[in-house]
Chains A and B, each alone.
Chain A
Amino acid sequence: MKSCIFAYKHKAILPSASQSFYDNMKEPNQHTFEDQFQARIDAEERIEPKDWMPEKYRKTLIRQISQHAHSEIVGMLPEGNWVTRAPSLRRKVALLAKVQDEAGHGLYLYGAAETLGAERDDLLDELHTGKAKYSSIFNYPTLSWADIGAIGWLVDGAAIMNQVPLCRCSYGPYARAMVRVCKEESFHQRQGYEIMLTLARGSEAQKQMAQDALNRWWWPSLMMFGPSDKDSKHTAQSMAWKIKRFTNDELRQRFVDITAPQAEFLGLTIPDEDLRYNAETGHYEFGAINWDEFWQVVSGDGPCNRQRLKARRKAHEEGAWVRDAAVAYAEKRRQRKAAAAQQQQVA
């Protein structure tokens, strides 16, 4: 049973000592610090919250970790959409547990961002105002039960591809969060594939449902790896800092190589006429990605961007009185305890 005590206001673990040290630092020393920092990275040392780090490294990580956290939370919505309609009690339990895992991932990740001095409230504000991004895949609708299978198989599958290398990320708290997350994601992936397998082995209608889901989720899944390397503005620096270990295109290729045979095993057709195995390279070649669609969804105009943000904002706004009450009650309790202690002293 996970802890359910009201644990909202985490104290951010601010690297206070080294932070003031950094603030007082004079320009000429900057290079030395950055060189030493890079040397540690090159030696595969883990950077911990209290260690000195370049401001850009901190900012890059906060951006990436919070985007990741938001993706977990927004990602609960398309799948949550089928929790009340899951076709059997066994599936209902499994889906609920899965979506709950995603909430847990969000929690660890917000926690990891807080070790860098970010506040969860501020990060949530950025999500709610549309300033922060989250994975564009979650802006697509879940229209049938097969979509739950397709998301587990493809979306969790792609997430694993992205996240396994993050377990070796140079920033310690992020890397450690990813180790936990990856274990659960691979369970989700197998579960999703098993749903697809059941449908693919089922009636004609079920098979069609599975094929339709694959048709809709395939290309958005490939887009999950982000823009192609030549258009990715953060890749080079992130690789040098060992936040990233592989480029977007490398990871995307690996995903296609693993997933294409799985689709074949299911007896389903990947919606790409150009998809073929190249025996010489040992890789699958695949067709051109519609980057216009990618940028459209990323910039807020995908099929469900508005609904997703609206749902998150609504939950947050309607929950305000609950959070306020919990804070007020905790304060009352503290005061009552203090008063009781004082009375005891008097007596």
Chain B
Amino acid sequence: MTLTEAKFEYLLRLGDNALILGHRLSEWCGHGPILEQDIAITNIALDQVGQARSLLQYAAEVEGKGRSEDDLAYTRDVMQFRNLLLVEQPNEDFAYTIVRQFLFDNFNFLLHQALTQSKDEHLRAIAEKSLKEITYHLRYSSEWMIRLGDGTEESHQKMQTALDDLFIYSGELTSPDEVDQQMHEAGIGPDLDRLKPAYDQKVKDILAEATLQLPEVKYMQSGGKDGRMHTEHLGFILAELQFVQRAYPGMEW
């Protein structure tokens, strides 16, 4: 892979994570467990779709084939998406939503903190702006991990169930592959192996405070960020997300 190709892949990963998780969160809009949290979740969704726009615009620019952010978001199929498996998992209930958010925010925060040191000026600027938002996201999801984990018997149960189900998707976040490696060598992205201890420590700390058990996982799932094998959920997200553009191609909206 040339450096440009690898950088395009890398930006798609970042952009698709933000887009798909933002989309998932936007499904809550109008249906939150309480008005204040409806607003809070929508805030995070807004930040993430906003970040997706900056990242996909830049990805399109790096690709240099005249595509736009919307071309990338609305006309690629499942196999061309590069988001983590974790972020495409369904909302299920507020417990799954919070656990998914925490597992992601924890990684996303460390990643963006590192990206503010990137040698790529454009990516560094995006990361600096996003980091403020992600810092808040991580605080929000951490607080709710603790509040629901250590809330009632029922909320504790629900959180443990969600964690048991979703933890298998957390391995992919901090396991570097070729693209990650290439970005690290070029000084564009961080060494994921070096992020992992901080990630694991934060999970441990928050779970302890939330009185939740770290699930024992034999095998982690992967295949999202390299597009090797997404879960079945992504196709339905795209069916909805892309409906108008697919039904009426090539128009201004």
Contact = CB atoms under 8 A, between A and B. Distances in A.
A100 B69 contact: no
A206 B152 contact: no
B206 interface: no
Contacts of A328: 151-152, 155
Contact of B31 (A106, A203, A311): A311
Contacts of B243: 85
B63 interface: no
Contact of A324 (B27, B73, B154, B245): B154
B35 A103 contact: yes
Question: Which among A73, A202, A322 has the highest number of chain B CB atoms within 10 Å?
Answer: A322
Contacts of B33: 315, 318-320, 322-323
B151 A84 contact: no
Interface string B15-40: 00001000100110111111111111
A97 B29 CA distance: 10
B241 interface: yes
B68 to A, nearest CB: 9
Interface majority SS (helix, strand, loop, mixed), chain A: helix
B42 A103 contact: yes
Interface majority SS (helix, strand, loop, mixed), chain B: helix
Nearest to A84: B240
B220 interface: no
Contact of A318 (B38, B70, B93): B93
Nearest to B240: A84
A21 interface: no
Given A7-B36, A318-B33, A87 B245 contact: yes
B39 A107 contact: yes
Nearest to B241: A84
A88 interface: yes
Contacts of B52: 89
Interface of A: 1-2, 4-8, 73, 76-77, 80, 83-93, 96-97, 99-100, 103-104, 106-107, 110, 145, 195, 198-199, 202-203, 205-206, 311, 314-315, 318-326, 328-329, 332
Interface of B: 19, 23, 26-27, 29-40, 42-43, 45-46, 49-50, 52-53, 56, 69-70, 73-74, 93-94, 133, 136, 140, 146-148, 150-152, 154-155, 158, 240-241, 243-245, 248, 251-253
